[in-house]
Amino acid sequence: GAILIEDTVEHEICGLPAARYLWETKRVVPFLKVDRGLSEERGGVQLMRDVPQLDAVLDSAAAAGIFGTKTRSLIKSPNVEGIRALVHQQLDLARHVLARGLVPVLEPEVAVGCPEKARCEQLLLYVLLESLRSLGPDDRVIFRLTIPCEDDLYRPLVEHPNVLRDVA
């Protein structure tokens, strides 16, 4: 897949809108980056900034042939309440994306240089599994996760019925 920014979606490549060109000519699945960067660190995490006019952005993406969206937030320390807030924010945005017929790619990144990276990853897994229960039976998300310290840590996500794919 290819992650596009809003300006790129509006461009044409060889006479076709960018998303159509990627899929129809190159067989590359187009995704739109919808997050607007990160807020200041609080509770060991950096949440996404608000996305102004989110519904209009998603409607435009769907009309342009975008398959899904990508959103990133950052975990810097093993604070379960901070991680829970981060996951809830990601899933709240995912529900908007799903309602527009798009597939959300959620990227709750664990900082690679974090001294307690393994603990952050364990807490993230716990909170993700807990939170996925809030999705409907037909809702599917993709996770883009930092390669974990522990082999197969994210296997329960890979096998979860609401997870379409887990990529590193």
In tens, the pLDDT along 29-39 reads 999 999 999 99
Mean pLDDT of 101-121: 97
Cβ atoms of 99 and 133 within 8 Å: the answer is no
Rounded Cα distance, 89 and 114, in Å: 22
pLDDT band at 157 (very low <50, low <70, confident <90, very high): very high
Mean pLDDT of 41-55: 96
Mean pLDDT, the chain, rounded, equals: 96
The one-letter code for the residue type at 72 is R
Cβ atoms of 32 and 69 within 8 Å: the answer is yes
pLDDT digits (tens, 9 = 90+) for 158-167: 999 999 998 8
Give the residue among 168, 112, 111, 110 at the shortest CA–CA distance from 142: 168
Name beta bridge partners: 70: 33, 105
Mean pLDDT of 57-62: 95
State the pLDDT at residue 63.
Answer: 94
Does residue 143 have a pLDDT over 90? yes
Give the residue among 101, 40, 94, 53 at the shortest CA–CA distance from 71: 94
State the pLDDT at residue 36.
Answer: 95
State the pLDDT at residue 168.
Answer: 75
Q: What are phi and psi of 87, to 5 degrees?
A: -65, -40
